[in-house]
Amino acid sequence: MTDMTPHVSPEERPSPRGSTAQLPREELIRIHDLMIEGRLLEERLIRMQRQGEAYFWIGGPGEEAFNTCLGLLADKGQGLDHDYFHLHYRSSATLLALGGKSIDALRQMHNTVTDPHSRGRNFCGHFSVREWNLVPITSPIEVQYSVAIGTGLAQARQGGKGITIVQGGDAGSAEGDFASCLVWASRPMQPLPMLIIVANNQWGISTAASGQHGEKYISDRGKAFGMKTMTCNGNDPETAYFAIQEAMDYVRTERRPLVLECFLSRLYGHSSSSGANYVEEEPDCIKLIADKLDQRGWRSHEETKKLTEAKEAEMTEWYKQVLTEPKPDASEVHMFTFAERNHVGGEA
Ligand SMILES: Cc1ncc(C[n+]2csc(CCOP(=O)(O)OP(=O)(O)O)c2C)c(N)n1
């Protein structure tokens, strides 16, 4: 029988380094706005799968607090002087915080040819934005940790302020790619400017972390390689914001790697394959931040409700629009098999 006890109990989860530190009102409001849109997007995607408008859903409800802050704090741009993103399939809130559009995520979900991430060929949450150094998100888990070594190496050689950000789940850290990442990032002859993030939701599909991890914190593994490590409560945007900021500043200026483990929730289970039903027992970052804003007198629950309704109406318009858009033609099936060949507007 599966042991349902969380590996790191709620009492033991890192709290809130800087839990007393507050963000300015405008910044927290901006984060809240993005988190609401991120949640409404994911809930819409879940409904689309249930309605037969998409084959499969996987995504990031429960990761909005941490992922929004990650996107807002990063240096977006193209090339080695900016940050590289090697994210995972729960990173929709990071994409929105970077400036991505919900309608494009809806397009990928419905596999329309207008999907700018994969032209309707990949499934939801598998983003890719060349202009922002956001490399394609993969379905095989943890691959991103070995791919990220490449941009980390290039940035170490070039110098400057650009860093490589890589993020994946707790269960995936058992894969060799994660170990390779720790080895390569910490070589004394050439340490890499990599922010190595583990988003720990305590589950790997239906396998509880408590039965799998002999180590207390996954981030502790970085210590064996002489790396700085940190843990944070990923369900609270203020805590997450300050932790990410501290970690990024270190990697950016010291040009050395850091492992940051954030504890967050998996609010709709693993994917549509596990039912995608809301999990009442887990902390919900959207509710927590709404309470905080209300208590501070910065945004009442009534205002949050109105805003959520307005954003949901907007999401519905985007959704309706996407349903009218064309699917890829079968003649395109061989496009993009090789890089730079036959891409839209490219040479034949
Ligand atoms: C290499 C590989 N092995 C197995 C799978 C099947 N698989 C998909 S998600 C998943 C669990 C991942 O758990 P975790 O890394 O904790 O991330 P989470 O989904 O919880 O965010 C597994 C085993 C896969 N996609 N790729």
Return the pLDDT at 280.
Answer: 96
Q: Considering the domain boundaries, does residue 338 fall inside one?
A: no
For the whole model, what pTM was predicted?
A: 0.94
Return the pLDDT at 333.
Answer: 83
Lowest mean pLDDT among 12-21, 123-132, 295-304: 12-21
CATH number of the domain enclosing 141: 3.40.50.970
Q: Considering the domain boundaries, does residue 108 fall inside one?
A: yes
> Order of strands, edge to edge, in the sheet holding 228-233?
84-86, 164-169, 194-200, 258-263, 228-233
Rounded CA separation 186/179 (Å): 11
**For residue 342, pLDDT beyond 90:** no
Nearest Cα residue to 287 out of 19, 39, 25: 39
In which domain, by residue range, is 45 found?
A: 33-325
The total number of residues shown for the chain amounts to 348
Return the pLDDT at 19.
Answer: 58
**For residue 2, pLDDT beyond 60:** no
Ligand 1 within 6 A of CB of 261: no
Average pLDDT, the chain: 93
Question: Ligand 1: which residue has its CA nearest to atom 12?
Answer: 204
Return the pLDDT at 60.
Answer: 97
The ligand 1 atom nearest the CA atom of 175:
1
The ligand 1 atom nearest the CA atom of 139:
25
Rounded CA separation 50/269 (Å): 15
Ligand 1 within 6 A of CB of 171: yes
**For residue 136, pLDDT beyond 80:** yes
Six token digits for residue 198:
């583990």
> What is the whole-number distance in angstroms between the Cα of residue 175 and the centre of ligand 1?
10
> What is the whole-number distance in angstroms between the Cα of residue 111 and the centre of ligand 1?
23
Q: Considering the domain boundaries, does residue 229 fall inside one?
A: yes
Return the pLDDT at 21.
Answer: 85
Reported as half-sphere exposure (CB side, CA atoms, 13 A), residue 285 has a value of: 35
Tell me whether strands 207-208 and 203-204 are parallel, antiparallel or unpaired.
antiparallel
Which of the four pLDDT bands, split at 50, 70 and 90, describes residue 338?
confident
Q: Considering the domain boundaries, does residue 53 fall inside one?
A: yes
The ligand 1 atom nearest the CA atom of 205:
11
Q: Considering the domain boundaries, does residue 13 fall inside one?
A: no
The answer to whether residues 170 and 218 touch, using CB atoms and an 8 Å cutoff, is: yes
Q: Considering the domain boundaries, does residue 11 fall inside one?
A: no
The residue to which tokens 């900021």 are assigned: 245
Ligand 1 within 6 A of CB of 253: no
Give the pLDDT confidence of 15-35 residue by residue, as tens digits. Answer: 544 456 899 999 999 999 999
Give the pLDDT confidence of 158-204 residue by residue, as tens digits. Answer: 999 999 999 999 999 999 999 999 999 999 999 999 999 999 999 99
Ligand 1 within 6 A of CB of 140: yes
Return the pLDDT at 18.
Answer: 42
Q: Considering the domain boundaries, does residue 331 fall inside one?
A: no
Question: Ligand 1: which residue has its CA nearest to atom 7?
Answer: 141
Six token digits for residue 322:
């996407």
Nearest Cα residue to 235 out of 299, 278, 178, 292: 292
Ligand 1 within 6 A of CB of 141: yes
Sorted by sequence, the CB contacts under 8 Å of residue 326 that are 6+ apart come out as 112, 113, 114
What percent of the chain has pLDDT above 90? 88
Q: State the total domains in the chain.
A: 1
Give the pLDDT confidence of 212-262 residue by residue, as tens digits. Answer: 999 999 999 999 999 999 999 999 999 999 999 999 999 999 999 999 999
Q: Is the model more confident about 4 or about 30?
A: 30
Q: Considering the domain boundaries, does residue 337 fall inside one?
A: no
**For residue 8, pLDDT beyond 60:** yes
Sorted by sequence, the CB contacts under 8 Å of residue 210 that are 6+ apart come out as 3, 4, 5, 6, 7, 202
Cβ atoms < 10 Å from Cβ of 125: 26
**For residue 9, pLDDT beyond 70:** no
Q: Is 159 left (phi over 0), alpha (psi -120 to 50) or beta?
A: left
